Amino acid sequence: MARAFTLLWVLGLVVCVPVTATAQEACDSGRGGPALATGPLQVSLLGGQLGLPRRACPRSEAFITGDLSLVAELAEFYGNIRSNAIVGGSWAITERTEVFATFEAFRFQTVISSISAKSFGTGYLSLGALQQIYSGEGVSLAFAGRLVLPSSTLDQNSKPLAMDLGLNLAWVGHEVVSLHAALAFAGSIGISNGPAVPRGGVRLMVGLDIHPLRWLAIVIELHTAFGYRGVLDLVAPGVGFRFAIRQHVGIELGAIVPVAGEERALVAGALQLSWRFGGPTSHSQDQDDEEPTP
């Protein structure tokens, strides 16, 4: 089962064959300079960032992220706080192809109930690739796939192997406002002596990226998910702020708040510091040399 699951993920990436296009407007608009993050907010409710949407534009960067999710059910006297310190990066092999990886270097979880417990260790390692299939006239489309390996030291009885595969869109319709969206399948199986308990579902996200200033972006998103935990997994609005600190250094602060569905978390948030060291750009060298600080 595990081999078949991995083969499905690999086959999904193989079909992502590049399509010739003549323009890179959606990826190289130059808005905000190279320091600002692009695409979806990097806030995840699932381990290993499973199902987390990717941007549609390859870029090379390194980052460190701290994330947090909170479950609080007062009527049942139950709470669950989970946090991770994540290191990762991506490398744009070409203008259309990117590989990426993340590792939850430190994972902490505390359960508050009649019997409370705390645990900490390492989390999940995920590996992925992105292939842009179209870029032109302000639109970029890309396939992305992620494999989440059963590497957490906190899993005892069952170790999950998971994957996602999706289509990502970026559309620049205005100098100040752009749109991003993603449609993905996410699935997992448990590796243990017992049943595999496979899961699978569909996730849909749409968002706006607003640039009131060159060093600032405001992100508004809506996340929905179906089938992974129940018929309706979640409906969750999200909001985030992106800042360009120096020429290639940026900060993203984001949060999503589930308001419906099977998801038990009240809120999830993430703070990410990234350093961009490569990727296609179209703005001039003079613009790059400006430090977009407030």
List % helix, strand, coil for the chain (3-state, nearest 5). Answer: 5, 55, 40
- Residues linked to residue 106 through DSSP beta bridges, in sequence order: 85
Residue-number span of the structural domain to which 48 is assigned: 2-289
Confidence of residue 10 (pLDDT cuts 50, 70, 90): very low
Under 8 Å between Cβ of 257 and 239? no
Question: Cα separation of 181 and 167, whole Å?
Answer: 8
Instruction: Judge whether 150 lies within some domain.
Output: yes
The pLDDT tens digits for 239-267 are: 999 999 988 999 999 999 999 999 999 99
Confidence of residue 2 (pLDDT cuts 50, 70, 90): very low
Please state whether the predicted TM-score (pTM) of the whole model is above 0.85.
no
* CATH number of the CATH domain containing 280: 2.40.160.40
Instruction: Judge whether 294 lies within some domain.
Output: no
Domain total in the chain: 1
The chain-wide mean pLDDT, for the chain, equals 85
Instruction: Judge whether 57 lies within some domain.
Output: yes
Instruction: Judge whether 138 lies within some domain.
Output: yes
Confidence of residue 115 (pLDDT cuts 50, 70, 90): confident
The pLDDT tens digits for 260-292 are: 999 999 999 999 999 998 654 433 333 444 444
User: Measured at the alpha carbon of residue 40, what is the angle toward residues 24 and 111, in degrees to the nearest 5?
Assistant: 160
Question: Cα separation of 136 and 133, whole Å?
Answer: 10
Instruction: Judge whether 196 lies within some domain.
Output: yes
